[in-house]
Structure 1
Amino acid sequence: MSGSGDNERIKEGLRQTLHDLSTLHGVSGFEQAVVRYTRQRFEPLVKRVETDSYGNVTAVKSSRHEAPVLMISAHMDEIGFIVKSIEPNGFLRFDRIGGAGEAVLPCRKVDVSGHFGLIGSISGHLASASRLGQITPISELYIDVGASTADEVGKMGINVGDPISFFGELAAFTARDRVCGKGMDDRAGLAILIQVLNELKDEIPFGSVRAVATVLEQVGLRGAAMAAYRIKPNYAIALDGVAAADTPDLSTTKDMPVIMGKGPVVLLASSIGQDVAVRGNIAHPAMRRHLLAAATNGQVPVQFATLMRRGTTEAALVHMSRDGVPAITVGVPRRYSYSPHEMIDLGDAAAAVNLIVRFIREMETHSDLAFA
Structure 2
Amino acid sequence: MFKETFFTQLKELAAISGGPGNEHRVVQNLVEQLKLHSDEVEVDQMGNIYAYKHGKQPGPTIMVSAHSDEIGCVVRDIDECGFIRVERTGGMLEALMVGRKVQVNDHFGVIGVKAGHLQSPEERNKVPSIYELYVDIGAKSKQEVKEMGIQIGDPITYISDLDRFSNQDLICGKAIDNRSCCVLLVELFKALAKGDFNGTLVGVIAVQEEVGLRGAKVATYKVNPDFAIVLDTIPCADTPDSLGSGYPIGIGQGPVIPALAGGGVRGNIMSRQMKKCIIQFAEQLEIPYQLAVMTGATTDLAAVHLEREGILGGAITFARRYSHSPVEVANLNDFEQGFILLKAMIERQEDWGNMGFI
| TM-score of the aligned structures, taking structure 2 as reference length | 0.97
Question: 1:196 maps to what in 2?
Answer: 188
Question: 1:131 maps to what in 2?
Answer: 123
Corresponding position: 1:270 with 2:287: no
Q: Pick one of 59, 68, 77 that aligns with 2:51.
A: 59
Distance 1:219 1:167 in 2: 20
Aligned letter for 2:10?
L
Question: 2:32 maps to what in 1?
Answer: 40
TM-fit CA distance, 1:16: 1.1
Kept in 2: contact 1:243–1:256 (CA 8 A) = no
Question: 2:291 maps to what in 1?
Answer: 304
Q: Pick one of 174, 179, 184 that aligns with 2:166.
A: 174
Corresponding position: 1:362 with 2:341: no
Distance 1:296 1:61 in 2: 27
Q: Aligned ranges for residues 74-113 of structure 1 at < 5 Å?
A: 74-113=66-105
Kept in 1: contact 2:237–2:248 (CA 8 A) = yes
Aligned letter for 2:135?
I
Q: Pick one of 279, 291, 300 that aligns with 1:292.
A: 279
Structure 1 142/360 Cα, relative in aligned 2: closer, same or farther at 3 Å?
same
Distance 1:371 1:331 in 2: 20
Q: What secondary structure sits across from 1:130 in the alignment?
A: helix
Corresponding position: 1:316 with 2:273: no
Corresponding position: 1:162 with 2:149: no
Distance 1:169 1:208 in 2: 36
Corresponding position: 1:235 with 2:222: no
CA-based RMSD of the aligned residues comes to: 1.5
TM-fit CA distance, 1:290: 1.6
Distance 2:210 2:18 in 1: 11
Question: 2:333 maps to what in 1?
Answer: 347
Distance 1:231 1:27 in 2: 24
Aligned letter for 1:265?
V
Unaligned runs of 5+ in 2: none
Distance 1:208 1:199 in 2: 15
Identity of aligned residues (%): 37
TM-fit CA distance, 1:368: 7.7
Kept in 1: contact 2:274–2:357 (CA 8 A) = no
Aligned letter for 1:167?
I
Structure 1 249/75 Cα, relative in aligned 2: closer, same or farther at 3 Å?
same
Question: 1:6 maps to what in 2?
Answer: none
TM-fit CA distance, 1:365: 2.1
TM-fit CA distance, 1:15: 0.3
Distance 1:325 1:241 in 2: 21
TM-fit CA distance, 1:64: 2.8
Distance 1:371 1:264 in 2: 20
Distance 1:170 1:364 in 2: 38
Distance 2:225 2:356 in 1: 15
The number of residues matched between the two structures is 358
Distance 1:177 1:58 in 2: 31
Q: Pick one of 141, 145, 170 that aligns with 1:153.
A: 145
TM-fit CA distance, 1:155: 0.9
TM-fit CA distance, 1:231: 0.5
Question: 2:318 maps to what in 1?
Answer: 332
Distance 2:27 2:192 in 1: 21
Structure 1 195/371 Cα, relative in aligned 2: closer, same or farther at 3 Å?
closer
TM-fit CA distance, 1:255: 4.0
TM-fit CA distance, 1:190: 1.0
TM-fit CA distance, 1:17: 1.2
Distance 1:302 1:81 in 2: 34
Aligned letter for 2:192?
L
Distance 2:191 2:121 in 1: 56
Kept in 2: contact 1:49–1:60 (CA 8 A) = yes
Aligned letter for 2:165?
F
Q: What secondary structure sits across from 1:138 in the alignment?
A: coil
Corresponding position: 1:258 with 2:249: yes
Kept in 2: contact 1:284–1:371 (CA 8 A) = no
Distance 1:226 1:108 in 2: 34
Unaligned runs of 5+ in 1: 1-8
